C-alpha cells in the first residue's frame, strides 16, 4: 500500500466548468454524475458508440467545477473528444497544470477501497513521485487503468468497469450505452482484462497468450515481466496445459474483487 501521500507524475487534470458542465457529462460518460460530491469521487469512462473504452478517469467535485484525473498521455485527446461533443453546451473545458494528482493511504478510491486515497491538490507540493510504487501496488491488486485498456480495443464490460463501479445501469443514455447494457443483461461478456506475470521474461504487447495450441487471449499492456492480458474466461477454465507467451511461462492472476 502507498503509505504516505505521493505525486502520480503520469496523471493530469482537466477542469469542466459552467452551468451545464454536469448535465453535459451525464449525457456522455458511463457513470451517474449526480452521485459526485465533494466527499465522494467517481470513476467513469468515455466509450466509443460501439461500447469500447476510449478513456477512463476519476472525477472530483470542486464547487460547481468538475475536475477530471486522467492519464497525462491522453489528456489532449480527451479534451478534443469532449470538445467535439460539447456543441453549444455552456461549459468551459481546460487543462489545469496548476493541479496535481496524489495517491496515499485511505479508503477513498471509488474503484476499490484497498487502492487507497486519491485526490487532486495544488501543484508544487513538496511530495515525492510515487508513480512506480503506485503502479506496482495497483497491478498487485489486479486493477487496470488507462493504457492497460488501449484505445477502442476492448469493451467496458471486458475491462471490469462494472465491477470497478464505473458504470451506472440506471442513469439513462450515454455514448456506448446500448451495447454495454446488452452485454450486462444478456451475460455475453466472456472476456476479462487480467494481470499476468512472466518471471524472467519480457511481455510483448499484442502477443498471444496460449495453452499449447489454444489461444486464451492477448497481452494488452506490459511493464517488463508483468502486464495485463485480455483473457477468454471459458478457455482459461478449460485449459489443461501450461500457459505461455512467446514460449515463456506465464501466470494469470484472478483478482479477488473480480472473482468473489
Task: Give a three-class secondary structure readout of 29-72.
Answer: CCCCHHHCECCECEEEEEECCCCEEEEEEEEEEECCEEEEEEEH
Domain harbouring 204, CATH code: 2.40.30.110
Q: Provide the pLDDT for residue 186.
A: 85
Q: Provide the pLDDT for residue 3.
A: 66
Domain interval for residue 216: 190-252
Residue with cell 468473489: 260
The Cβ of residue 241 has, within 10 Å, a number of other Cβ atoms equal to 10
Q: Provide the pLDDT for residue 113.
A: 92
Considering the domain boundaries, does residue 216 fall inside one? yes
Looking at the structure, tell me whether residues 14 and 115 fall in a common domain: yes
Q: Are 195 and 201 in contact (CB under 8 A)?
A: no
Q: Provide the pLDDT for residue 187.
A: 75
Considering the domain boundaries, does residue 239 fall inside one? yes
Detail the DSSP E strand segments found in the chain. 6-7, 11-17, 42-47, 53-62, 65-71, 92-95, 99-104, 117-122, 191-197, 208-211, 214-223, 226-232, 243-245, 248-249, 251-252
pTM: 0.94
The Cα 245–Cα 153 span in angstroms is: 20
Q: How many domains is the chain partitioned into structurally?
A: 2
Considering the domain boundaries, does residue 176 fall inside one? no
Looking at the structure, tell me whether residues 143 and 208 fall in a common domain: no
Considering the domain boundaries, does residue 82 fall inside one? yes
Looking at the structure, tell me whether residues 130 and 70 fall in a common domain: yes
Tens digit of pLDDT per residue, the chain (260 long)? 666 789 999 999 999 999 999 999 999 999 999 999 999 999 999 999 999 999 999 999 999 999 999 999 999 999 999 999 998 899 999 999 999 999 988 888 999 999 999 999 999 877 889 999 999 999 999 999 999 999 999 999 999 999 999 999 999 999 999 999 999 888 767 999 999 999 999 999 999 999 999 999 999 999 999 999 999 999 999 999 999 999 999 999 999 999 97
Q: Provide the pLDDT for residue 106.
A: 81
Considering Cα of 50, then 56, then 61, then 65, what sign does the dihedral take? negative
Amino acid at each position: 500500500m502507498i503509505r504516505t501521500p505521493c505525486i502520480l507524475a503520469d496523471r493530469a487534470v482537466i477542469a469542466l466548468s459552467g452551468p451545464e458542465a454536469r448535465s453535459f457529462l451525464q449525457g456522455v460518460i458511463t457513470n451517474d454524475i449526480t452521485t459526485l460530491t465533494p466527499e465522494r469521487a467517481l470513476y467513469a469512462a468515455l466509450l466509443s458508440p460501439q461500447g469500447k473504452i476510449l478513456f477512463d478517469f476519476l472525477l472530483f467535485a470542486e464547487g460547481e467545477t468538475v475536475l477530471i484525473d486522467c492519464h497525462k498521455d491522453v489528456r489532449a485527446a480527451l479534451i478534443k473528444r469532449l470538445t467535439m461533443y460539447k456543441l453549444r453546451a455552456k461549459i468551459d473545458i481546460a487543462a489545469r497544470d496548476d493541479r496535481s494528482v496524489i495517491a496515499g493511504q485511505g479508503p477513498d478510491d471509488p474503484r476499490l477501497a484497498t487502492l487507497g486515497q486519491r485526490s487532486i491538490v495544488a501543484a508544487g507540493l513538496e511530495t515525492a513521485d510515487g508513480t512506480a510504487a503506485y503502479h506496482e501496488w495497483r497491478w498487485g491488486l489486479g486493477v487496470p487503468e488507462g493504457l492497460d485498456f488501449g484505445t477502442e480495443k476492448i469493451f467496458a464490460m471486458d475491462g471490469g468497469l462494472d465491477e470497478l463501479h464505473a458504470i451506472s445501469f440506471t442513469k439513462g443514455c450515454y455514448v456506448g450505452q446500448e451495447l454495454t447494457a446488452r452485454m450486462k443483461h444478456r451475460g455475453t461478456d466472456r472476456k476479462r482484462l487480467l494481470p499476468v506475470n512472466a518471471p524472467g521474461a519480457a511481455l510483448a504487447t499484442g502477443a498471444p497468450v496460449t495453452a499449447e495450441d489454444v489461444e486464451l487471449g492477448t497481452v494488452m499492456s506490459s511493464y517488463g515481466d508483468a502486464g495485463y492480458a485480455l483473457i477468454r474466461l471459458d478457455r482459461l477454465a478449460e485449459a489443461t496445459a501450461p500457459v505461455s507467451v512467446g514460449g515463456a511461462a506465464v501466470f494469470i492472476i484472478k483478482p479477488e474483487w473480480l472473482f468473489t
